[in-house]
Amino acid sequence: MKTISLVGAASYLPARIVDNAFFQDSVEERTHVMFQGVTQRHHVAPDELAHEMIVQAARKLAVRLNLNLTKDVDILMTNVTTPDQPFTGCGADVGKALGCRPDWIIDVHNGGCVSFISMIAHAQALMTCHGAKTALLCNVQNAAGRLFAQEETRKLKQARIPGDGCGVAYLVASSEAPVKAVVQRNYCEYAGDMSVIRADGTKWWEPSTACTFVDFNETKIAQVMGRANRIVPEVIREACRRAELPTNEIGTLITNQPNRLFLRNWREALQVPRERHVSTFERHGNLFGAALPMCLEEAIDSGQLKNDSHLVLGGFAHAGDFAAAAVVHWKPTVR
């Protein structure tokens, strides 16, 4: 595989900040550990489109990295939790708005909360086999404002967890901040264990005014927690092994942000001290796939991610049907 580098990230947050009072904020929600720890989150506006969020974040990234987006994007990849349109992804809309014409536009609809890592793997494959030099990876989480703010849905305990945001990152075919390992694991036996349903049982394409939510119960919590405790440390350890990085030398750990306990358990399992694990959960809730690039931006901006240290990305998707991890030697050159 060709050596590729992760060189920068940027984010966009919708303007609307929603605090806990917006939801059913009873004792039950406040005391159940599964639903604790978020104090606020952002929600997309009703008419805010996924590609508009990406464009905002991409323009910020272009300023930071001194990019000319009209020509510096060979590969454009998007992952959007709640797509704008049923038939197509928004990659071409992003290209149109940015005035670029990438050789490759790929809108991925799998990989969930760690789709960012699978997009790195896709980009590396395309750079290796087809000579692409640059890639813009874009993750949008917009399910909070679109689904979990619905009148009936927001009364459910689960509604307080998701938060919206967009994270983008830039990859180049070079060795300046090399991706040392990427590991992806599919657990198809767990496919379908997380489903988004309507209260009246209709499918999303059928006419209905019923609210939408994630089908969720106490048994599922047990199953998902068991899997997450197992598959995330495993895939991260494997990525570290391939990168020849002892886990006690992880400089910065960035995982998806599902809840406080999963974050605690992963840190404990990998013995990564809290100060090396980036968390935006309290302020932004569960950012789904956008968490990785958004946490990355935060780690860069805050100075938490030190030059010449090892950045480890990892996490799992849905109810555990996919887990992935990557190791990056972070030493980007000033552009």
Partner 1 sequence: MKPDLADIDRLPGVHRIENCSKEQMTSLAMEMTHAVYPHDEVYGQYCPIQDYINCPPEKAFEYLADVYTLEEWTYSTRDFKPVSDDGLFVGLDRLGSTTKIYVRVVVNREAMTVDFHCSWDQGEHLWMIYLMRVVPAELVLGKPGCVVLWTNCRHPNYDRNPYPETAPAGRKIWVGDMWPFFYAGHKIELDNLKAILEYRHANRLPMTIGGPK
User: Around 117, how many Cα atoms within 13 Å sit in the side-chain half-sphere?
Assistant: 34
The helix/strand/coil state of 212 is strand
Cβ proximity to partner 1: between 202 and 229 the closer is: 229
Give Dmax (Cα) for the chain: 56
Residue type at 308? D
Kindly tell me which of 182 and 272 has the beta carbon lying closer to partner 1: 272
**Cβ nearer to partner 1, comparing 189 with 308:** 189
Instruction: CB nearer to partner 1: give 66 or 219.
Output: 219
Looking at the Cβ atoms of 34 and 69, the one nearer to partner 1 is 34
Residues in 256-275 that interact with partner 1 by CB under 8 A? 265, 268-269, 271
What is the size of the binding site for partner 1 (CB under 8 A)?
A: 17
Short-list 45, 46, 136, 48, CA closest to 98? 136
In the shown chain, the binding pattern of residues 112 to 131 toward partner 1, with x for contact by CB under 8 A and - for none, equals --------------------
Q: Which of residues 189-248 bind partner 1 (CB under 8 A)?
A: 217-220, 222-223, 225-227, 229-230, 233-234
The CA radius of gyration of the chain, in Å to the nearest whole number, is: 19
**Shortest separation between residue 270's beta carbon and partner 1, angstroms:** 9
Query: Of 48 and 321, which has the nearer Cβ to partner 1?
Result: 321
Q: Looking only at residues 270 through 309 of this chain, which bind partner 1 when binding is defined by CB under 8 A?
A: 271
**Smallest distance from the beta carbon of 222 to partner 1, in angstroms?**
4
CA distance 135 to 126: 10
We find the least distance from the C-beta atom of residue 183 to partner 1, in angstroms, to be: 17
Cβ of residue 248: shortest distance to partner 1, in angstroms?
Answer: 10
Q: Which is nearer to partner 1, 60 or 230 (CB)?
A: 230
Question: What DSSP line would sit under 24-66, residue for residue?
Answer: ---HHHHH-GGG-S--EEEE--TT--HHHHHHHHHHHHHHHHT
Q: How far is the C-alpha of 76 from the C-alpha of 54, rounded, in Å? A: 11
Shortest spacing between CB 227 and partner 1, in angstroms: 8
Residue in 293, 291, 242 with CA at minimum distance from that of residue 262:
291
Element (DSSP H or E) covering residue 204: none
- CA–CA gap between residue 11 and residue 291 (Å, rounded): 10
What is the distance between the alpha carbons of residues 91 and 254, in angstroms, rounded to a whole number?
25
Residues with Cβ within 8 Å of residue 33, at least 6 apart in sequence: 259, 260, 261
Amino acid of residue 37: G
Please report how close the Cβ of residue 110 comes to partner 1 at its closest, in angstroms: 24
Q: How far is the CB of 230 from partner 1 (least distance, A)?
A: 4
Under DSSP, the state recorded for 84 is: S
- DSSP code for 158: G
For residue 206, the minimal CB distance to partner 1 (Å) is 23
Cβ distance to partner 1 smaller for residue 47 or 218: 218
By the rule CB under 8 A, 33 interacts with partner 1: no
- Contact residues toward partner 1 (CB under 8 A) are 217-220, 222-223, 225-227, 229-230, 233-234, 265, 268-269, 271
